[in-house]
Amino acid sequence: MASYLASNVLCRHISSSPAFAAAIKHVTVIGGGLMGSGIAQVAAATNHSVTLVDQNEDILAKSTAAIQKSLGRVAKKKFADDGERQSSFVADVMSRIGTNTDAVSAAKDTDLVVEAIVENLDVKKKLFSALDAAAPQKTIFASNTSSLPITDIATATKRLDRFGGLHFFNPVPVMKLVEVIKIEQTSTETFNRLVEFSQALGKTTTECKDTPGFIVNRLLVPYMMEAVR
Q: Choose among 149, 161, 166: nearest CA to 211.
A: 149
Contacts 24+ apart (CB under 8 A), 123-128: 124/148, 124/153, 124/156, 125/152, 125/153, 125/155, 125/156, 126/156, 127/30, 127/103, 128/153, 128/154, 128/156, 128/157
pLDDT over 60 (residue 223):
no
Told to judge if 167 belongs to the known catalytic residues of this protein, a careful annotator would answer yes
What pLDDT was estimated at residue 7? Answer: 40
Residue-wise DSSP of 26-86: EEEEE--SHHHHHHHHHHHHTT-EEEEE-SSHHHHHHHHHHHHHHHHHHHHHHHTT-HHHH
Q: Which of 63, 167, 187, 198 is catalytic?
A: 167
- Range in 4-8, 31-35, 67-71 the model is least confident about: 4-8
Over residues 121-149, the pLDDT tens digits come to: 999 999 999 999 999 999 999 999 988 99
4-18 burial by CB neighbour count: b if 16+ within 10 A, else e? eeeeeeebeebbeee
Q: Evaluate if residue 9 carries a pLDDT over 60.
A: no
Catalytic pick from 115, 143, 179, 187? 179
pLDDT at 74: 97
- Tell me which of 222 and 4 has the higher pLDDT: 222
Give the span between the Cα atoms of 141 and 155, in whole angstroms: 12
The answer to whether residue 16 is catalytic is no
Pairwise CA distance, residues 123 & 117, whole Å: 9
Q: Are 40 and 97 in contact (CB under 8 A)?
A: yes
Active site residue 144: no
Residue 105 scores a pLDDT above 70: yes
Active-site residue identified among 26, 49, 100, 146: 146
pLDDT digits (tens, 9 = 90+) for 145-191: 988 999 999 999 999 999 999 999 999 999 999 999 999 999 999 99
How distant is the alpha carbon of residue 226 from its chain centre?
32
Q: Is 13 annotated as catalytic?
A: no
pLDDT for residue 4 is more than 90: no
Whether the CA torsion 9, 15, 20, 21 is positive or negative: it is negative
